Amino acid sequence: MMDRLKMKILLIDDNKEITDAVTFYLDSLDIPCTVTNDGREGLRKIKESIDFDLILLDIAMPEFTGFDVILELKKDGLLSARNIVFFTASNVNEEELLSQGAKGVIRKPISVDDLQQAIEKFRQG
């Protein structure tokens, strides 16, 4: 059983089935999760709050992608202070994704183990 240190997660993914499943899992761990299914809204939430320990960001979203979110954060000098982990089903090379400024990559379909590893990596003590 995991110790329940405080942690806040922001999940940005346009697929409601995925956000529902991840939220259900995080709820079972008593980890608060803020969800948005829209990239622009996700960017706004990132900019207005510095207290997310982990941001799970889908790459392939309509209109405003995960890459768009990353570019905006870079432009505003806000990227390096954020723990962003890409969520992706695409075949993009992991090194390439990390070179964009993300601090991790979780492949879809999401495994609980991968999600757990990301949580442990960015959990604040």
For residue 65, the enclosing domain spans 9-122
Give the predicted TM-score (pTM) of the model. 0.93
Q: 54 lies in a domain?
A: yes
Q: 69 lies in a domain?
A: yes
Q: 1 lies in a domain?
A: no
How many domains are contained in the chain? 1
Cβ burial of 60 (10 Å; 0-12, 13-18, 19+) is middle
Q: Which two tokens stand for residue 68?
A: 């768009």
End-to-end Cα, the chain, rounded Å: 16
Cβ burial of 11 (10 Å; 0-12, 13-18, 19+) is buried
Query: Domain with 34 in it: what CATH number?
Result: 3.40.50.2300
Q: 4 lies in a domain?
A: no
Q: 60 lies in a domain?
A: yes
- Say if CB 105 and CB 94 are below 8 A apart: yes
Tell me: the pLDDT tens digits for 47-80?
Answer: 998 889 999 999 999 999 999 999 999 999 999 9
Q: From CA 39, how far away is CA 47, in angstroms rounded?
A: 12
Q: 2 lies in a domain?
A: no
| Of 59, 56, 114, 110, the residue nearest 84 (C-alpha) | 56
Tell me: the pLDDT tens digits for 19-46?
Answer: 999 999 999 999 999 999 999 999 999 9
